[in-house]
Chain A
């Protein structure tokens, strides 16, 4: 368990802290994330699974779930969190170099996004906001926000696909 934490603790804590912004809460959720994975590690499918991906999925879901509980947001689909977490270990990347190449491609694609597209990606992926919530926060029409999100995701998708092709 401690070894798992030593490998991934910094990343997981950072993802959670970025979302919840409160250190003690991030500590609690980080602990919950590692316990959740540790207690289910006997279900890990080594042929299809990826531990880091699983942990990141669980961490993000724990953080977003916490934010929802604070906001009492009824419009969000919270019922499929377990399903998403199970899916978190249902992908496996080819190897470490492939993962790093994809990571670099996504990082570069993010930096190349126009400011407004990058902002909506941050709000969805780092802060767990729906498009409706983003529209409300930014004071923009929902259609505009959906367009920004769709455009940004398409660029990220293309960056991943091109990296896979190469």
Chain B
């Protein structure tokens, strides 16, 4: 079939409802790398999506949001406020356990007033922590979608190793998105670092993987990556405030 013969088929192909023989013929043609038909296909896909988006919106059931959050291991993060805590880690599942112990202590050891005060603090900490995590995710998605963001893939051919991309936007910051990162062993956490061309690595934030091995870390704000050589990840003792990388895991060159 020639390009002209496909002209009415792109939209149906784009939504996967073309008859099998026509679909196969068009797929084989696109596989030849025909530039013009490739553009027509992308245009058709955009059109199909715009049609899909015209449907009347329906409010999803209220429980769906929590169900989706839970499916990636995004257990509500509980961080008990502490005057000694200078820097709060991002996703910190280990704090859930600590907070649970604290909550238990509250339940069995304190007077009613104290318990109310602690419960209020606990709730406020939970809310603040969830809000912080939402802001962190929003920052990552903003960088991914912003015009002008540059992407640098790392270890992309190493599917069994941590691999992913750095998304660099000079005003919004840098997001490192990584897959296939195993959960940190008990007693350890992941820490991200900016590795400058000159000088010592600078810690960014602690983070954890979800239960699919996915993780991300964000350097917010204007950045000048010409002064960086890499963004790196290390493992650090759980209760430490990192000063220099303890167990380097990988580095993504900028």
Contacts and interface: CB of A to CB of B under 8 A. Distances in A.
Given A14-B56, A35-B72, A46-B144, 18 more contacts: A2-B134, A9-B64, A10-B57, A14-B55, A42-B177, A42-B179, A51-B145, A60-B49, A64-B15, A80-B23, A87-B14, A95-B147, A102-B50, A121-B51, A126-B52, A150-B8, A153-B11, A156-B51
Given A14-B56, A30-B60, A160 B71 contact: no
B58 interface: yes
Contacts of A124: 12, 15, 17
Contacts of B23: 77, 80
B46 to A, nearest CB: 5
Interface of B: 8, 11-12, 14-20, 23-24, 27, 41-43, 45-61, 64-65, 67-69, 71-72, 74, 133-134, 137-138, 141, 144-147, 149-151, 163-165, 167, 177-179, 210, 212, 214
A96 to B, nearest CB: 10
Chain A interface SS verdict (over half)? helix
Contacts of A44: 144, 165, 177
Contact of A87 (B24, B45, B58, B133): B45
Contacts of A51: 141, 144-145
Q: What size tier do the contact residues of chain A reach?
A: 35 or more
B73 to A, nearest CB: 9
B223 to A, nearest CB: 15
Contacts, number: 204
A39 B214 contact: yes
Contact of A23 (B19, B61, B74, B151): B61
A126 B134 CA distance: 32
